[in-house]
Chain A
């Protein structure tokens, strides 16, 4: 049973959970703010300080479990949607690697993985696959491995936030059934908006809330609302533009209710704060800021 670390730009979210029959009992959860300079696209830059901060916090919070899962939710992971002919798994990994290197001009020292979002027939009848591929520098992966070694934890998985959200929607019938779902993950300075159609992942949009300086919560809400509006506009360009839409909010719980009200008033689109997923059982109060960490618990 694992401890899940979600590494964001400026926060590390940690949860500890026990799992049984795909239901996870979350025992502990905490958030630790970190300077943004401690991590970048090459991974952890200030290893010793981050280790000391995490180990002291985990000692204080009495985290006990030894298995660890990491969910990366920062710029050290690059996402790309690619469409390739439908081939066997073994060859697909090579094709994805080659395609990613070609499209993004990546060097061989990137670690890549992918999931199949959907399969479809091309116009000429060829079976095709739409994939979400990710790439991360080896050095970034190595920095996470090193940190876990220092913390004396057995690292089993390095997942990504988008994949975690895709698994969350897939495991949540109430979300999966929505024709056009805009799931908003609000960070303090960064915003991620996910578009799903009937449970199928369509795209992610990243935006900065405070590009230069800190902003007030009110300013942040306005910026988030503006970005949600842009995503709604995009959803109207989709085939099922007339489908039912819903906005689900997660992230900084402190602003979510106010944001929900504003969206409901201004954008006239159904909006709600993410409710506790049905694979989570906990005596703790449910907080949406841990949603990536919760979803990284799911393994397929």
Chain B
């Protein structure tokens, strides 16, 4: 059937409907861009909020670190460190001193017990003295060999570094041989 009437209003509406349909891909692009922009904005907002929060934390920490109380405490800590270092040095020194003490010759009752333990009945002590790491034992004995025997016995104790004597003398008045035995002491722990 032929078209035998006209209506510009209908044509106008048809064309605008077509144009709105044609523009739909553009609308989709715009929507996609809008969504992406929205997501980026949300992400940026989130980052900005995080940054604000971190800045707040940093400011709080700065305020805490720079507070007079903390600075005083830090100063105390520094002082304690210095003190610790001094103490460490002192400990080291003390250890050295102890080592020195440990290595030093010590004359005590144990040495006397060894000297006394090695003695047999003929040996008479006249005197025992100590000087410069050496115990001087003055003895008297009826026989000349007693002194050397006693020296041997002391050596066998392995308590002294060296045991020696320098001969003997005979004393007429009491018929006894006299000598001085020198017992050289070992050093301390350092030995």
Interface residues of A (CB under 8 A from B): 70, 72, 77, 89, 92-93, 111-116, 119, 129, 134, 136, 138, 141-142, 145, 155-160, 163, 167, 170, 299-300
Contact = CB atoms under 8 A, between A and B. Distances in A.
Contacts of A111: 8, 11-12, 15
Nearest to A136: B8
Chain A contact residues, majority secondary structure: strand
Contacts of A300: 4-5
25 contacts: A70-B9, A92-B3, A113-B6, A113-B7, A113-B8, A113-B10, A115-B6, A116-B4, A119-B2, A129-B2, A136-B8, A138-B12, A141-B8, A141-B12, A145-B9, A157-B7, A157-B9, A158-B8, A158-B12, A159-B7, A159-B8, A160-B8, A163-B5, A299-B5, A300-B5
Contacts of A115: 3-6
A114 B8 contact: no
B10 to A, nearest CB: 8
Nearest to B9: A158
Interface residues of B, number: 12
Given A111-B15, A163-B5, 11 more contacts: A72-B8, A115-B3, A116-B4, A129-B2, A145-B12, A157-B7, A158-B7, A158-B12, A160-B8, A163-B6, A300-B4
Contacts of B11: 93, 111-113
Interface string B1-45: 011111111111001000000000000000000000000000000
A70 B2 CA distance: 23
A151 B5 CA distance: 26
Nearest to B16: A138
Most buried by B among A119, A141, A155: A141
A32 B84 CA distance: 112
A155 B5 CA distance: 17
Nearest to A108: B15
Contacts of B15: 111, 138
Contacts of B3: 89, 92, 114-116
Contacts of B8: 72, 77, 111, 113, 134, 136, 141, 158-160
A223 B7 CA distance: 33
Contacts of A159: 6-8
Contacts of A163: 5-6
A163 B4 CA distance: 9
A138 B9 CA distance: 10
Which 8 pairs between the two chains have the least Cβ-Cβ distance? A300-B5, A116-B2, A113-B6, A158-B8, A158-B9, A141-B12, A111-B12, A113-B11
A156 B12 CA distance: 12
Contacts of A160: 6, 8
Nearest to A144: B9
B9 A141 contact: yes
B124 to A, nearest CB: 148
A49 to B, nearest CB: 23
Q: Which of the listed residues A70, A113, A145 has the most CB atoms from chain B within 10 Å of its own CB?
A: A113
A114 B4 contact: no
A243 B3 CA distance: 28
A70 B12 CA distance: 14
B133 to A, nearest CB: 125
Interface string B147-182: 000000000000000000000000000000000000
B9 A156 contact: yes
A120 to B, nearest CB: 13
A142 B13 CA distance: 10
A92 B3 CA distance: 10
A3 B86 CA distance: 112
A299 to B, nearest CB: 6
Nearest to A86: B2
